[in-house]
Structure 1
Amino acid sequence: MGRRCLRVSRKMALRGLKVIDCATLFAGPLAATVLGDFGADVVKVEHPKGDPARSHGYAKDGVGLWWKMLGRNKRCVTLNLSTPEGQRIFRELAREADVVIESFRPGTFERWGLTYEVLSRENPGLILARVTGFGQKGPYKNRPGFGTLAESMSGFAHVTGQPDGPPTLPPFGLADGIAALATACAILIALRAREATGRGQVVDLAIIEPILTMLGPQPTVYDQLGIVQQRSGNRSVNNAPRNTYRTRDGRWVAISTSAQNVAERVMKLVGHPEFIQESWFATGRGRAEHADELDEVVSRWIAERTQDEVIKEFEKAGAAVAPIYDISDIMRDPQYQALESITTVDDPELGPVKMQNVLFRLSETPGEIRWPGPKLGEHNREVYAALGLDERDLKELSAKGVV
């Protein structure tokens, strides 16, 4: 899995697709990672100082661990796009590319002479994916844009947390991750359109939008009923019982009763079938309005049993339950092991490294992790040689701060 082999299996769906990833941090680069996992030739263009993701989060012996996952399946080159020579080299790279992914503040690519009009003049089939916090237009377009701001402005933080507590942000890049998947999807849609028209186009993705879509019907509910959803902790406004519950051995489980028949099974299991006869129990919304009553009997039953006992009894009853896992639990879980959700990749700096596998399984064109995140500028010679630059050229460009 971790061999430094640039050959791509003929069975990989995106074999032959050439992608330039000059985005920074997470949303744009993760979209490129997804494409690379399924065979795209991704060239990561970084400033000579390196992408900030290389030093983000935990490190071992000075080697950034997040980068190993984010930079996998990418060939890494350095290039200073703020210099005229860097811009010229970038245009040469883009001339042969199918996709360019960038995440600079709106107007930056234009200031560098790298507009879509310029890039597409010699490559009319190019897809330019622009991933920014607030999109390419509007009053906020020039604001710094990070996932945290999207989680705040999308309504996510407002509905997350306990009713009497503050709005709560996720402790990881949720909005960036959702935006990355949306970007990868948008690129594939644009490529499909290119098959029909022969022309590329610009993808304008604002990180504030995909996470808003994930929040469900809130805009429609507000439009039609004037209701603003409030924080409800781990409860749902749409059904109950739905919460996290502590077991006798101090561990936790979560249950969901989105389906009516599952809600009925839960109440029978915990010894209170009489609730099922209540008129309000017949709808998820009605059950949510009586969440205190339902949680009381469910939590009492769960508190009398260990986590293993609770899961065993729920499974026997055909009710939905899951343990609350930390990452150590995930690494040991037999279902994740059966799916090979966590895989081991050989890394020349760290040795064997475990990380998330490719996102999904395809029966005929599976994805693959061919190598983890490379060193800064590791592929300069290889990539730039294809543009006619030799060792002496690279030394001169390095001395000028271009690569």
Structure 2
Amino acid sequence: MRKSEKPSFGLLDGLKVVHSSSVVAGPIAAELMAENGADVIWIESKRALDTNRGKGGMGAESERRNMRNISFDIPTEEGKKILRSLLEDADIFIESSKGGQYKRWGLTDEVLWSWNPKLVIAHFSGYGQSGDPEYVSRGCYDPVCQAFSCLMHLNGFADREALPAREIPSDYLSGLTGFGMCLAGVMKARETGIGESFDLAQYELAIRYQNQRPMDWLVRGVPSPRVGNHNDVTAGWGAYTCKDGNAVYLMFLGPSVMEKGLRLFGWEFGSELFPKTQNFAPLATEGGKMLEEAVTKYCAEHAAVEVEEELCALGVPCSRIMDYEMAAEHPHYIARETFTEWEAVDGRKLKGVNTMPKVTNHPQQIWRGCPTPGMDTDDILLDHGFDAEEIKALHEQGILRN
């Protein structure tokens, strides 16, 4: 597909993004740009396919929409020439490799800026581009990152081994952060004419988004134990099994919630048992113990849908613990078109999560499914000044995926 064939739409129409990242963190940043109208060129290694194409292929179908794909070996001399042609007029370049890989290939930020001074460069890696050399050179996947970033230590039950949180949250946190930082970099580059480079160490982003937990230890010396599916301080906060065997998650938290929710059990917020000096009922107090027992008993005597409806009517945040089958049939999911359908490049009908958030004036689109490896190689090279004979020669030399 030639650039001229790409539809024009969205908040990022006119932005050019080149990414040679794989699996999730880097590609999700590029994917969000593609869904918002950017022209995203995905460089896929000629030597090894993106791991996200495995496991049934739905990972790639979900997170590589709206992209054009070119497949070649970057570190070869010919590959570097192709990369230069792609980056000379690009706004953003995203890569995800072990720390220092591009430097070892002779492709430092300074080299890339000599090609394009305004280029915004995002380096995604598990441990960063600098630091302890033993760690910088390590490979990393999301669960390993969770282990190193202390995130895994927070998840699970106190009497069992720590658990990785699904579904790959540190990858998505990194991708979302990279998405925002790249666009901020473009804004500044357009103002100053000077590009930027970001060192996105996945473990740092995973620990950045742990709320007060790191400071609880660093400032107060207070550890954060694993609490399972119930809050360890507050009554009426957690998962509860209902009469029909299904479960809900609910939270008695906040003055309005306490005031309205306690009425279900005939209690008053502001009484001696539930003083207004606290916006929740501590488990260690008599009122907290009573509330926890009452909520547990109430849920055991009612079906999950009844619990959800009655508590929500009172203003207590509560939801059944949904699975994908339930979500696909839920009226709110349907009303907001949370799931949508699109066509794969081979004509198959696919259904998955829609673009989001909803945009009023310049909405996103899904105009193309995940491209096959090297699907757009020749067209992309034609767009960047290569002629048919040059492209043929690159194929014959084995530089390009045939």
TM-score normalised according to structure 1 size = 0.91
Q: Check if 1:104 corresponds to 2:104.
A: no
Counterpart of 2:162 in 1: which secondary structure?
coil
> Gaps (5+ residues) in structure 1?
60-64
Aligned pairs for 1:371-390 (under 5 A) are 371-390=368-387
Counterpart of 1:302 in 2: which secondary structure?
helix
**1:4 Cα deviation from its structure 2 partner:** 10
User: Could you say if the C-alpha distance between residues 383 and 280 of structure 1 is closer, same or farther in structure 2, counting changes exceeding 3 Å?
Assistant: same
| Candidates 92, 113, 118, aligned match of 2:111 | 118
Counterpart of 1:44 in 2: which secondary structure?
strand
The answer (yes or no) to whether the contact 1:175–1:208 under 8 Å persists in 2 is yes
Corresponding residue for 1:400?
397
**1:270 Cα deviation from its structure 2 partner:** 3.8
Aligned pairs for 1:34-183 (under 5 A) are 34-59=32-57, 65-139=58-132, 140-183=135-178
Distance 1:241 1:217 in 2: 22
Distance 1:382 1:151 in 2: 40
Distance 1:345 1:4 in 2: 21
The answer (yes or no) to whether the contact 1:238–1:285 under 8 Å persists in 2 is no
Aligned pairs for 1:177-326 (under 5 A) are 177-237=172-232, 239-273=234-268, 277-278=272-273, 282-283=277-278, 287-290=282-285, 293-326=290-323
Distance 2:141 2:279 in 1: 36
Counterpart of 2:166 in 1: which secondary structure?
coil
Please tell me the root mean square deviation across aligned C-alpha atoms, in Å: 2.3
The answer (yes or no) to whether the contact 1:50–1:78 under 8 Å persists in 2 is no
Distance 1:81 1:10 in 2: 29
> Gaps (5+ residues) in structure 2?
none
The answer (yes or no) to whether the contact 1:11–1:364 under 8 Å persists in 2 is no
Deviates more, 1:111-120 or 1:388-397: 388-397
User: Could you say if the C-alpha distance between residues 282 and 28 of structure 1 is closer, same or farther in structure 2, counting changes exceeding 3 Å?
Assistant: same
| Candidates 31, 34, 38, aligned match of 1:33 | 31
Q: Deviations over 1:136-184 (max 9, x none)?
A: 1111211112211221122221111112111110232111011100000
The answer (yes or no) to whether the contact 2:118–2:190 under 8 Å persists in 1 is no
User: Could you say if the C-alpha distance between residues 278 and 28 of structure 1 is closer, same or farther in structure 2, counting changes exceeding 3 Å?
Assistant: same
User: Could you say if the C-alpha distance between residues 229 and 6 of structure 1 is closer, same or farther in structure 2, counting changes exceeding 3 Å?
Assistant: farther
Identity %: 26
Distance 1:330 1:5 in 2: 37
Distance 1:183 1:276 in 2: 49
Corresponding residue for 1:62?
none
**1:55 Cα deviation from its structure 2 partner:** 3.2
Distance 2:339 2:8 in 1: 24
Distance 2:309 2:281 in 1: 28
User: Could you say if the C-alpha distance between residues 364 and 285 of structure 1 is closer, same or farther in structure 2, counting changes exceeding 3 Å?
Assistant: same
Counterpart of 1:287 in 2: which secondary structure?
coil
The answer (yes or no) to whether the contact 2:117–2:195 under 8 Å persists in 1 is yes
The answer (yes or no) to whether the contact 2:9–2:365 under 8 Å persists in 1 is no
**1:19 Cα deviation from its structure 2 partner:** 0.4
User: Could you say if the C-alpha distance between residues 116 and 153 of structure 1 is closer, same or farther in structure 2, counting changes exceeding 3 Å?
Assistant: same
Q: Deviations over 1:348-387 (max 9, x none)?
A: 4352111111120121121111111111111111101123
